[in-house]
Structure 1
Amino acid sequence: MKGKLFITGFPGFIGSRLVRELLKRYADIEVVALVQQKFMHAAEATRYKIVAGRTDFENRFSFVFGDITKDLLGIADWKSLSEQITHVFHLAAAYDLGIQREVGMRINVEGTKNVVDFARRCKNLVRLDYVSTAYVSGSSTGVFSESDFDRGQRFKNYYEETKFIAEKVVRDTPDLPYVIYRPGIVVGDSLTGETSKYDGPYYVLQMMRSLPNYFPFPRIGDGSAEVNLVPVDYVVNSMALLSGDADSINNTFHLVDPEPMKVKELQDLFVKKLNKKFLFYPVPISLARLSLKMPVLRNVYQMPVQLVDYFVHQVHYENQFTRDFLSRYGIDCPQFNRYFDVLLKFFIEHDSESLQGIMI
């Protein structure tokens, strides 16, 4: 890869790591990150860490201030910039299972439309790389592969719905060379445990950690639903490599665990590693939803009600096409139980340092 790459989602959890990896992997690429004014200090601090000790990065990484929800991304001199850009990487999104539809439509859908519009104005555009989510599958059950998209599915929340609509925007844009990435639930680094956001399985982990032994703990469903967790380093390395591979254009990649753990297996793993004992009791999903809408129980269990549906949803994300593609680079998704100890150690040491408000 060579040219000038424009990226959204900096200084987010994945975006920051991806910028570093792209600069390291491709010596002939310059990176321009779109940064909201309110994240200026965080962006500057993150940039300092990225370029520290790397003089070859200093002149290849810059910011432009703007906002994906605005026409032409709110960039003052968008025309001059568009004439220089060869690659666009769109990560910015509002990641929140409890998001209101209006907010999701504005950030996830209108934001994507604005990025696509900017990309189409780039006369030298080689490709647009777009980060979607495996959960565009919505209510689909059974096997959901890279070639699947619109099955007439419903959605469990507005996050899923607006990410589905946003992916459709990318797919339906005429003559747009795109690549779509659909990660599972992204957790910390498999080698260091590092993360800057604690959601998904971290909600359950925090709940178990805070409750005393022998406290009643709900068992939602029969525990057989898969939970597709992927470490951030696997996701970033995969996207960095695929974004430099011309054969990846006009393809969709599932960045998921091909052999994910099930809900009960995860709960048992958490209990064992935390050295806890709970009084598990079965709870119908309807009662679990109702309970978590009650302020008292929500404060006790500290888990968003929208998460409940994932405890029982039976879907398997097939990614044989992605694995075959990544095999040329020797990349595989590690099994969760092999790096969980590292995640847990980091979580215990840093769980009060979560960055809030960053677009992922």
Structure 2
Amino acid sequence: MSDDTVFLTGFPGFLGSALVDRLLSRGEHVTCLVQSKFRDLAEDRRDDLEREHGVDDAIALVEGDITEPDLGLPDDGEFARDALADRTTEVYHLAAVYDLGVDRDFAMAVNVDGTERVLDFCRACDPFDRLHYVSTCYVSGRYPGEFTEDMLVEGQSFNNHYESTKFLAEVRVQDAMDDGLPATVYRPSIAVGDSETGETQKYDGPYHVIRYFLDQPGVAVVPEFGDPGAVEVNVVPRDFVVDAIDAISAREDTRGEVYQLADPDPPSVAEMQAAFAAAANTWTVDVRFSKAAFQWLLREVDAFRDWTGIDPAIVDYFTHPTRYDTTEASAVLADEGIECPDFREYAPRLVDYVRRHPHVGNDAMT
């Protein structure tokens, strides 16, 4: 086993698996913290990645849980907390609850308390190069106007416990940075499938709209709240997120910075709906509707929710008042030859993937 290792949470998730692939390309040894219920899947993905890279023993799997003391690591042996910390040079913290309807207590346990335990682990590592922390643009909550990369605590309100707990977690990370912990923060916006293949691990967020259009018999009623041409929906394909984190994390000059991995030219609500409807071969009829009444119907009337297939939690994002500045991220990524793909170009691939893979679920990996 290698003397030094990179420690990663969030494997074998979609993003975590992709980042492990990139780390292997750099010649790194990676130790992945894996929940016991995902052990079999993690072993399969480890074997696939090592086979693709032609390496053996490059990925170590250790069972644990960020919600447990000392990350649930073993009490003794090579994966005991202190023994592992002595070998760890970098940490990638991706594990979180990505669920808009998550219960507050569970979200606090995973997103906030879990991040605190990862920070404690980082502090035990010596020497330590850096923590790479994956946050979200939606630490902004419903901030009215442009939210920049140097903003965080702005008195904002939040749509749900996912947003509020990711905000609290990033506050903890930035406090640790202020106290001297070397770290870089990455804030993706709403992640969707691969821009080339459409592949994704689960159907959530905008995918509720795609499935609604695909399920309609050629014509779909579209509820209209306010001015859908004036509200943006910021989505980014997962390959862009992986490319961006890979490139930024490899640079020495990105320590201590926050990068918003958002689309600098996002579609409006109207543009997104039109692109998805066109790819689904569905005509749309816009109907003025009360947002509150629409959400009430989705929450309280089973037949209405079953007919639309729409999660009431996503409705808030179609009246979202925030725009995301990407000045720092765009500058660094331009140096690396990376830019966010145009939503209007890859939207049909997302729809086609859903059409060809109707049985993908929408459950978060928790």
User: Which of the five TM-score ranges fits, normalised by the shorter chain?
Assistant: over 0.9
2:348 maps to what in 1? 341
Q: State the secondary structure of the residue aligned to 2:87.
A: coil
Please state how far the C-alpha of 1:54 moved relative to its aligned partner.
2.2
Q: Counterpart of 1:352?
A: 359
Contact 1:221/1:311 (<8 A) preserved: no
The answer to whether structure 1 residue 213 and structure 2 residue 212 are counterparts is no
- The structure with higher relative contact order (CA 8 Å, sep 6+) is 1
Out of 128, 133, 136, the position equivalent to 2:136 is 133
1:3: Cα distance to partner?
A: 4.4
- State how far apart, in whole Å, the 2-side matches of 1:18 and 1:155 are: 29
Deviates more, 1:340-349 or 1:314-323: 340-349
| Cross-structure match for 2:95 | 92
User: Which whole-Å CA distance do the structure 2 matches of 1:155 and 1:34 have between them?
Assistant: 30
Q: Distance in 2 between matches of 1:62 and 1:111?
A: 21
Task: Give yes or no for contact 2:279–2:352 (8 Å, CA) kept in 1.
Answer: no
Query: Which residue number in structure 2 is paired with residue 242 of structure 1?
Result: 248
Describe the superposition over 1:259-301 as per-residue Cα deviations: whole angstroms up to 9, x where unpaired. 0000011111111111112332111212122111122211111
**Is 1:67 matched up with 2:72?**
no
Asked whether 1:180 is paired with 2:185, we answer yes
- Mapped partners of 1:355, 1:311: distance in 2: 19
Q: Quote the Cα distance in structure 2 between the aligned partners of 1:206 and 1:218.
A: 15
Q: Give the secondary-structure state (helix, strand or coil) at the position aligned to 2:88.
A: coil
Q: Which residue in 2 is equivalent to 1:297? A: 304
Residues matched between the structures, number: 355
* Range with bigger deviation, 349-358 or 268-277: 349-358
Structure 1: which amino acid aligns with 2:69?
D
Tell me how large the CA RMSD over aligned residues is: 1.4
TM-score by length of 1: 0.95
* Aligned counterparts of 1:45 and 1:349: Cα–Cα separation in 2: 24
Aligned-partner Cα distance in 2 for 1:215–1:242: 42
**Which range moves more in the overlay, 228-237 or 279-288?**
279-288
The answer to whether the Cα contact below 8 Å between 2:276 and 2:348 also exists between their aligned partners in 1 is no
> Is residue 108 from structure 1 mapped to residue 111 from structure 2 by the alignment?
yes
- In 1: Cα distance, 2:291 partner to 2:52 partner: 52
| Larger mean Cα displacement after TM superposition, 333-342 or 227-236 | 333-342
1:310-321 equivalence runs, <5 A = 310-321=317-328
- Structure 1: tracts of 5 or more residues without a match: none
Question: Which runs of no fewer than 5 residues in structure 2 stay unpaired?
Answer: 75-79
User: More displaced, 182-191 or 43-52?
Assistant: 43-52
Instruction: Work out the CA distance in 2 between the residues paired with 1:126 and 1:54.
Output: 25
CA distance in 1 between partners of 2:274 and 2:244 (Å) = 30
Q: Which residue of 2 aligns with 1:231?
A: 237
Q: What amino acid sits opposite 2:288 in the alignment? A: P
Aligned to 1:36: 35
Cα distance in 1 for residues equivalent to 2:148 and 2:314: 23
Q: Is the 8 A contact 1:31 1:61 kept in 2?
A: yes
Distance between the aligned counterparts of 1:53 and 1:177, measured in 2?
32
Distance 2:223 2:214 in 1: 15
